[in-house]
């Protein structure tokens, strides 16, 4: 029966068997890992309002039962997604995924391949590079409440990006992956694994989007970045799922000795987005910049939880999350800096700034510190406010009309993040998206 | 009618009367100075004319070339030709000087200004005021020194070419070198097409921007007017003799 077949694709308790049957190509080690994760997923409780890690969140809207394993794309749909995957032109490599299938690929140059760089879709990498994936795939724990969703991801993921940069290799132009969800009720499980070995340098960009504006979709993604000793890793993610969608993302960043990590997040899409960002300082002398910009409108809920874990001395992490809220949108920022006893001479900062552009918008902020070392510099701060009257008066007093003045001030608020992006094409891409979103509202 | 005409202006802040019947006529082509002790309402006059909402007009009139500016919104007053150089220029994070001044110019014309022509004139004015070109991409006033802020005010004035300018304590926080640069910028803008009102606490500025008329302001209105020698007399004798004159009904 056709109905029975399509029912089995919905994300109920039995969907996993169906998934395994459909993907017999997956290697045994991975299937075992998936089976364990599925069991874990079923056993773990759903988020509820009593859980501190889900405080303020609208947990009622997080059910996944209405979504199904995303179907394969028609040739026509694939073509249209490929055409829309042109936002960053100057790249060293590009992957385009539609409903978790690889639909287009611009491979690395021969030069980079010869140096040992790996940039592969997971659908091939699971078979080709098991030595890397068995060690690094889903090797990090959830620390911020998403255990159930991480298990869900592990069980049902089948594609994404593996980017491996060997020691001393520097890649100038960014590598980019596009992840598209297509069609109503589609569930996708995008994955990113970046491993930058000693003294290497790389910029990687994830762009998440939907093929149309209305279809409700589910995205449950996990990204993990490893910056080896002395490595320089820049990561951008653009969360631009359509506003009917539910999205989860867990980003873990591990910084080893003397590494430099910069992560830029841009949150524009989803009806309800939950992002968890865990920065793990494992090596001395490392430096992490963690930046995020959110523009929320209508009834969007953007829920961001962060943890800066300092486990090694003499390192620095600096987090700046800025949210601009319109209409009845809602944001949650919950951030914690944890400094272990041995992490002396840590500099760790955490700032959350919320700009309320509507009296009915709601910004929640929960900053926190947990410091066991005694010689550290740490600060956290959160501000929530409207457009500053003095700033507005100054602009008006130059003859600039009120709507234009307000727009300039809001763009100025965004610029504090955008101006830190060194790659001009990426900066302008982010800028354009942010301005577009603000203009539409 | 090329004149800024203030008649019997009364202004309250939080129901407290700060200006109580101030009258002043500033014709184009002239530079007038207003001096007076602290707390006498000098900055209130500047902000009230610029249209600040916290300043409640309770009486009198203010017209610019015959147009009632008290009936206009803040941005309309500016576009009508009045420029206020702020005593404390406001920092605008994330908005570059170039974009800011361009937005101000665009607000005054139908078509957006040509980018090449704009940068050419901006660079010329910046050079004139000794402002490094790298400032074009810096956020307005953010992290500027006192002197840089005031020069940036004069830069805006030079770019917007207003008919009437009010310089509110432009000399405050400036060392002599910065003061000379700012004064030179203002002097270059003197001319038949413009009236300039310099509000200052100290006579020092008036050595560099020599006024055609000097007005002494006390308790919310102009109590004495004269030529530039009046400023020198205040410098030498303070304000008490004027108070005594008023008390004696001179």
Q: What is the pLDDT of residues A161-216, one digit of tens each?
A: 999 999 999 999 999 999 999 999 999 999 999 999 999 999 999 999 999 999 99
B6 touches B46 (CB < 8 A) = no
3-state SS of A18-50? HHHHHCCCCCHHHHHHHHHHHHHHHHCCCCCCC
Residue B194 burial (10 A CB sphere; 0-12, 13-18, 19+): buried
CA angle centred on B194, ends B189 and B200, rounded to 5°: 70
Sign of CA dihedral B213, B215, B221, B223: negative
Helix A15-22 crosses helix A28-43 at what angle (to 10 degrees)?
170
* CA-atom Rg of chain A in angstroms: 21
The mean per-residue pLDDT over the stretch A245-272 comes to 98
User: Closest Cα to residue A166, out of A204, A197, A192?
Assistant: A197
DSSP per-residue letters across B205-246: HHHHS--SEEEEEETTEEEEEE-HHHHHHHHHH-SHHHHHHH
The mean per-residue pLDDT over the stretch A376-401 comes to 96
B211 touches B186 (CB < 8 A) = no
CA A222 distance to own-chain centroid: 8
The mean per-residue pLDDT over the stretch B89-114 comes to 95
Q: Nearest by CB to B79, which of A399, A408, A409?
A: A399
Tokens 């070339």, residue located: B65
Distance from CA of B142 to the nearest CA of A (A): 12
CA B42 distance to own-chain centroid: 11
3-state SS, residue A284:
coil
User: Would you put residue A40 in left (φ > 0), alpha (ψ -120 to 50) or beta?
Assistant: alpha
A65 touches A148 (CB < 8 A) = no
CATH of the domain at B73: 3.40.50.300
What was the pLDDT predicted at A366? 95
Whether A439 has a pLDDT exceeding 80, the answer reads: no
Whether A388 has a pLDDT exceeding 80, the answer reads: yes
ipTM reported for the complex, 2 dp: 0.96
Distance from CA of A358 to the nearest CA of B (A): 21
> How many Å apart are CA A344 and CA A347, to the nearest integer?
9
How far apart, in Å, are the Cα atoms of A88 and each of A113, A165, A176, A211, A414?
21, 20, 8, 18, 20
What was the pLDDT predicted at B249? 78
CA A262 distance to own-chain centroid: 13
The mean per-residue pLDDT over the stretch A313-328 comes to 97
Distance from CA of B101 to the nearest CA of A (A): 8
Q: What are A71's two structure tokens?
A: 């179907």
* Interchain proximity B103–A414, CB inside 8 Å: no
pLDDT digit string (tens) for A127-172? 999 999 999 999 999 999 999 999 999 999 999 999 999 999 999 9
Report domain extents, chain A: 2-283, 389-441
What was the pLDDT predicted at A4? 43
Chain B residues within 8 A of A408 when measuring between CB atoms: 92, 95, 99-100, 103
Domain containing residue B57: 3-247
Whether A2 has a pLDDT exceeding 50, the answer reads: no
Whether A3 has a pLDDT exceeding 60, the answer reads: no
Percent pLDDT > 90 in chain B is: 87
DSSP per-residue letters across A336-373: EEEE-TT-TT-EEEEEEEEEE-STT-EEEEEEEEEE--
3-state SS, residue B48:
helix
How far apart, in Å, are the Cα atoms of A41 and each of A11, A13, B12, B87?
12, 10, 67, 63
Determine which of A9-18, A214-223, B97-106, B218-227 has the lowest per-residue pLDDT on average.
Answer: A9-18
Q: Between A and B, how many residue pairs show a Cβ–Cβ distance under 8 A?
A: 78
Q: Domain tally for chain B?
A: 1
Distance from CA of A395 to the nearest CA of B (A): 8
The mean per-residue pLDDT over the stretch A374-385 comes to 95
* Interchain proximity A397–B107, CB inside 8 Å: no
How far apart, in Å, are the Cα atoms of A298 and each of A270, A272, A295, A325?
11, 11, 11, 9
Whether B220 has a pLDDT exceeding 80, the answer reads: yes
User: Closest Cα to residue B33, out of B185, B220, B176, B224?
Assistant: B224
A357, A360, A366, A367: CA torsion to nearest 10: 10
Q: Best residue in A291, A383, A389, A395 to probe B by mutation, most B CBs within 10 Å?
A: A395
């Amino acid at each position: 029966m056709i109905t029975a077949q399509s029912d089995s694709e919905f994300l109920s308790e039995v969907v996993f068997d169906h998934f395994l049957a459909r993907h017999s190509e997956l290697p045994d080690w991975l299937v075992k890992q998936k089976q364990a994760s599925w069991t874990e997923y079923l056993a773990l409780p759903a988020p509820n309002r009593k859980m501190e890690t889900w405080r303020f969140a609208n947990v009622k809207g997080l059910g996944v039962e209405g979504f199904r394993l995303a179907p394969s794309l028609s040739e026509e749909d694939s073509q249209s997604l490929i055409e829309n995957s042109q936002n960053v032109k100057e790249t060293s490599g590009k992957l385009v995924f539609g409903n978790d299938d690889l639909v287009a690929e611009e491979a690395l140059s021969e030069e980079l391949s010869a140096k040992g760089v790996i940039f592969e879709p997971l659908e091939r990498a699971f078979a080709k590079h098991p030595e890397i994936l068995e060690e690094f795939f889903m090797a990090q724990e959830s620390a911020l409440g998403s255990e159930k969703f991480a298990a869900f991801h592990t069980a049902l993921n089948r594609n994404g990006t593996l980017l491996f940069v060997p020691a001393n290799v520097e890649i100038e132009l960014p590598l980019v992956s596009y992840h598209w969800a297509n069609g109503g009720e589609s569930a996708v499980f995008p994955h990113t694994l970046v491993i930058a070995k000693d003294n290497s340098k790389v910029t990687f960009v994830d762009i998440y989007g939907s093929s149309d504006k209305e279809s409700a979709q589910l995205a449950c993604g996990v990204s993990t970045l490893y910056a080896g000793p002395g490595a320089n890793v820049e990561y951008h993610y653009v969360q631009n799922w359509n506003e009917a969608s539910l999205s989860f993302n867990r980003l873990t960043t591990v910084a080893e000795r003397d590494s430099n990590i910069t992560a830029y997040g841009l949150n524009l899409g989803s009806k309800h987005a939950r992002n968890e960002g865990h920065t793990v300082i494992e090596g001395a002398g490392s430096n992490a910049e963690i930046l995020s910009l959110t523009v929320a409108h209508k009834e969007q809920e953007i829920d961001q939880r962060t943890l800066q874990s300092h486990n090694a001395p003499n390192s620095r992490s600096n987090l700046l999350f800025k949210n601009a809220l319109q209409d009845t949108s809602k944001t949650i920022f919950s951030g914690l800096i944890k400094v272990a006893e041995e992490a002396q001479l840590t500099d760790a900062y955490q700032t959350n700034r919320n700009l309320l552009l509507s009296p009915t918008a709601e910004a929640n902020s929960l900053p926190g510190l947990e410091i066991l070392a005694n010689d550290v510099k740490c600060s956290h701060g959160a501000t929530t406010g409207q457009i500053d009257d003095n700033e507005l008066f100054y602009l008006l007093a130059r003859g600039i009309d009120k709507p234009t003045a307000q727009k300039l001030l809001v763009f100025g608020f965004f610029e504090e993040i955008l101006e830190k992006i060194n790659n001009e094409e990426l900066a302008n891409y982010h800028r354009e998206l942010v301005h577009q979103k603000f203009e539409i509202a | 009618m090329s004149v800024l005409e203030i008649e019997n202006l009364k202004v309250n802040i939080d129901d407290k009367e700060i200006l109580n019947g101030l009258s002043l006529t500033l014709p184009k082509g002239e530079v007038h100075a207003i001096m007076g002790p602290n707390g006498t309402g000098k900055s209130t006059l500047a902000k009230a004319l610029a249209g600040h909402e916290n300043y409640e007009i309770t009486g009198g009139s203010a017209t610019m070339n015959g147009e009632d500016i008290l009936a206009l919104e803040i941005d309309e007053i500016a576009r009508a030709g009045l420029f206020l150089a702020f005593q404390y220029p406001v920092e605008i994070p994330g908005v570059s000087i170039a974009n800011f001044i361009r937005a101000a110019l665009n607000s005054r014309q139908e078509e957006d200004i040509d980018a090449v022509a704009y940068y050419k004139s901006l660079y010329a004015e910046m050079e004139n005021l000794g402002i490094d070109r790298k400032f074009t991409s810096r956020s307005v006033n953010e992290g500027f020194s006192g002197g840089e802020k005031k020069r940036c005010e004069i830069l805006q004035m030079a770019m917007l070419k207003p008919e009437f300018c009010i310089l509110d304590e432009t000399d405050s926080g400036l060392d002599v070198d910065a003061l000379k640069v700012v004064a030179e910028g203002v002097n270059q803008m003197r001319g038949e097409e413009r009236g300039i009102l310099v509000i200052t606490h100290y006579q020092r500025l008036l050595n560099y921007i020599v006024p055609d008329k000097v007005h002494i302001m006390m308790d919310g209105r102009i109590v004495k007017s004269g030529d530039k020698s009046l400023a020198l007399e205040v410098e030498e004798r303070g304000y008490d003799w004027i108070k005594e004159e008023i008390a004696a009904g001179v």
